[in-house]
Homo-oligomer: A and B are copies of this chain.
Amino acid sequence: MPKLWNETIEAHRRAVRDAILNTTAELAAEHGVRSVTMSQIAEQAGIGRATLYKYFPDVEAILLAWHDRQITDHLGQLAEVRDQTDEAGERLEAVLRAFAHISRRSRGHHGTELAAFLHRDERVARAQQQLHGMIRDLLAEGARTGDFRGDVAPDELATYCLHALTGAAALPSDAAAERLVTVIMSGLRDAEPAPTGRRPTSRHESHGHHSSGDSEH
């Protein structure tokens, strides 16, 4: 409920905007994304329908804006966690752990699921790529120092991490999320027991880094 006439005008608009986003997310989580209507949102948020159209052109835009807000918040939290240590391995593990718990907390609010639903939008794709980039850079640094495997490109490993971490939403406890991070980290380390070896003998067809554009289809 946006209190009528907040102190300053800009603060008021921001409060209304946030209220719209929150109520929309609630309605989407409750009755399904497809059934959310502008009329519902306006009524539930306690504002006029015409007023709602002065904030957002349609439901899709509101869902996008909600997602943007989520991603921005999460990125900030993760960056903060990352900058609390220096070593690449520790940094990555801390970030993965934080993301696992974020995934867990935002379950039920259709956190990642809504993102998947909106995935055809390029803005959402770019938002996810920011996360991807953060993880990838940590992985690349860890690969140079030998902490992580070098037979798979950091790009692909980052994809692996992010998708595997979304599974945290389905886990029953925080302790299970911790175990998930452990398992994921196991996949990231060198398969060969060569703690100091820079380039372990790859066991398969792969050699060096693969970034993209090999045998397709």
Binding site for B on A (CB under 8 A): 29, 32-34, 59-60, 110, 112-114, 116-117, 119-120, 149, 151-152, 156-157, 159-160, 162-167, 170-176, 178-180, 182-189, 191, 193, 204-206, 210, 212-217
Contact of A157 among B152, B178, B183 (CB under 8 A): B183
The reply to whether A162 and B173 contact each other, CB–CB distance below 8 Å, is: no
Q: Report, nearest first, the 6 A-B pairs whose CB atoms are least far apart.
A: A163-B167, A187-B187, A164-B164, A117-B117, A116-B116, A113-B116
Closest chain B residue, CB of each to CB of A105: B217
The reply to whether A160 and B180 contact each other, CB–CB distance below 8 Å, is: yes
Q: How far is the CA of A59 from the CA of B206 in the complex (A)?
A: 46
A contact patch SS: helix
The reply to whether B112 and A116 contact each other, CB–CB distance below 8 Å, is: yes
Contact of A176 among B114, B156, B184 (CB under 8 A): B156
The reply to whether B182 and A213 contact each other, CB–CB distance below 8 Å, is: no
The reply to whether A172 and B215 contact each other, CB–CB distance below 8 Å, is: no
Q: How far is the CA of A130 from the CA of B167 in the complex (A)?
A: 16
Give the residues in chain B near A191, CB-CB below 8 Å. 182, 186
The reply to whether B216 and A172 contact each other, CB–CB distance below 8 Å, is: yes
The reply to whether B171 and A167 contact each other, CB–CB distance below 8 Å, is: no
Nearest chain B CB to A115 CB, angstrom units? 8
Q: How far is the CA of A183 from the CA of B211 in the complex (A)?
A: 16
Identify 16 residue pairs between A and B in the complex whose beta-carbon atoms are under 8 Å apart, listed by A's number: A33-B34, A149-B183, A152-B183, A156-B171, A159-B167, A159-B171, A160-B167, A163-B164, A163-B165, A164-B167, A166-B166, A172-B212, A173-B212, A173-B217, A174-B217, A182-B204
Give the residues in chain B near A172, CB-CB below 8 Å. 212-213, 216
Q: How far is the CA of A210 from the CA of B182 in the complex (A)?
A: 14
Give the residues in chain B near A193, CB-CB below 8 Å. 193
Q: How far is the CA of A189 from the CA of B190 in the complex (A)?
A: 12
